[in-house]
């Protein structure tokens, strides 16, 4: 960063050095006039180049903005699609499992209670009561086992459906993995763009001041800085476009993996 600032300072110092040289008589007014004319000529070409590049950068930015919006909208739709994978099926199986558990809860509770009562009776050596409770409990056993089996079948079906849905979701999510990395790369490029735009704005202020002062040498130096920084923006935007195109491709792959 210091090296970049040093280069900018060298350009800006050039015009000041020329002014100092003139003031001490090392460079005659005619010679300075030639330098001023040369700077003006250089500025003419720089201005045209800057304007042309500025139009390109503006068009690129609009294209990238539109592409990002399209990609973000598509990503939202895909994420919604992931969330809805087998959602209805799982909801139905969950309801069935809950209904079975509720239906047989009284039976299972009674069965459990009889077992506890029989155990308590045996503890106090009340064999008669224990036997009566065991008889009643054992009579219920086939019905209880059938109830437990039905509940198990429904819970197993729910667990299997959830695992299947998770596997389907992972397939789509894996296809989306490159998107996160690409977005991180884009964030890094946007930081570089912000820095370049900041430097360009600072140079533009100095350029405007030089124009007001009639200082073609400083104006040319600052225009050169502006053009360089705009070039950095252009370079970063090309990388942004490349990342956005790769995201589009990844989203297309992920979309194809969603259940129909």
Instruction: Enumerate the domain spans of the chain.
Output: 2-77+86-257
pTM of the model: 0.76
Checking if the pLDDT of 165 tops 50, the result is: yes
The two three-digit tokens of residue 204, written as one number? 């533009």
pLDDT at 21: 38
Checking if the pLDDT of 10 tops 60, the result is: no
Q: What is the mean pLDDT of residues 23-31?
A: 43
Checking if the pLDDT of 260 tops 60, the result is: yes
Could you tell me which residues come within 8 angstroms of residue 140 by beta carbon, excluding any fewer than 6 positions away?
107, 110, 111, 114
pLDDT at 182: 97
- Are 152 and 226 a contacting pair, CB within 8 Å? no
pLDDT at 218: 87
Checking if the pLDDT of 209 tops 60, the result is: yes
Q: Cα(117)–Cα(136) distance, rounded to whole angstroms?
A: 11
Q: Is 25 left (phi over 0), alpha (psi -120 to 50) or beta?
A: left
Average pLDDT, the chain: 88
Confidence at 47, pLDDT banded by 50, 70, 90: confident
Confidence at 36, pLDDT banded by 50, 70, 90: low
Q: Cα(17)–Cα(20) distance, rounded to whole angstroms?
A: 5
Distances (CA, A) of 75 to 81, 237, 257: 10, 21, 13
Q: Cα(92)–Cα(96) distance, rounded to whole angstroms?
A: 6
> Angle 237-7-195 (CA atoms, 0-180°, nearest 5)?
35
Q: Cα(220)–Cα(50) distance, rounded to whole angstroms?
A: 12
The two three-digit tokens of residue 224, written as one number? 């050169």
Q: Cα(165)–Cα(117) distance, rounded to whole angstroms?
A: 44
Q: Cα(182)–Cα(87) distance, rounded to whole angstroms?
A: 30
Confidence at 18, pLDDT banded by 50, 70, 90: very low
Burial of 155 (0-12, 13-18, 19+ CB in 10 A): middle
pLDDT at 252: 97
- Are 70 and 56 a contacting pair, CB within 8 Å? no
């Amino acid at each position: 960063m210091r090296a970049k600032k040093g280069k900018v300072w060298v350009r800006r110092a050039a015009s000041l050095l020329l002014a100092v040289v003139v003031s001490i008589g090392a460079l005659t007014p005619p010679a300075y006039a030639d330098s001023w004319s040369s700077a003006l000529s250089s500025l003419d070409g720089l201005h045209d180049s800057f304007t042309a590049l500025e139009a390109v950068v503006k068009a690129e930015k609009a294209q990238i903005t539109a592409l990002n919006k399209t990609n973000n909208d598509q990503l939202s739709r895909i994420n919604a699609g992931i969330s809805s994978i087998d959602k209805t099926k799982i909801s139905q199986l969950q309801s069935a499992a809950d209904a079975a558990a509720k239906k047989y809860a009284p039976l299972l509770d009674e069965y459990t209670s009889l077992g506890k009562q029989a155990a308590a009776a045996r503890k106090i050596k009340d064999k008669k009561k224990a036997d009566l409770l065991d008889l009643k409990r054992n009579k219920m056993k086939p019905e209880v086992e059938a109830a437990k089996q039905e509940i198990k079948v429904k819970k197993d079906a729910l667990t299997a459906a959830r695992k299947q849905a998770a596997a389907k979701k992972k397939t789509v999510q894996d296809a989306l993995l490159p998107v996160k990395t690409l977005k991180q790369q884009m964030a890094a490029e946007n930081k570089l763009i912000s820095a370049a735009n900041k430097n360009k704005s600072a140079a533009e202020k100095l350029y405007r001041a030089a124009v007001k002062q009639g200082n073609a040498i400083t104006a040319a130096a600052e225009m050169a800085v502006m053009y360089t920084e705009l070039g950095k923006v252009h370079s970063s935007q090309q990388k942004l476009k490349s990342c956005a195109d790769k995201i589009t491709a990844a989203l297309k792959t992920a979309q194809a993996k969603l259940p129909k």
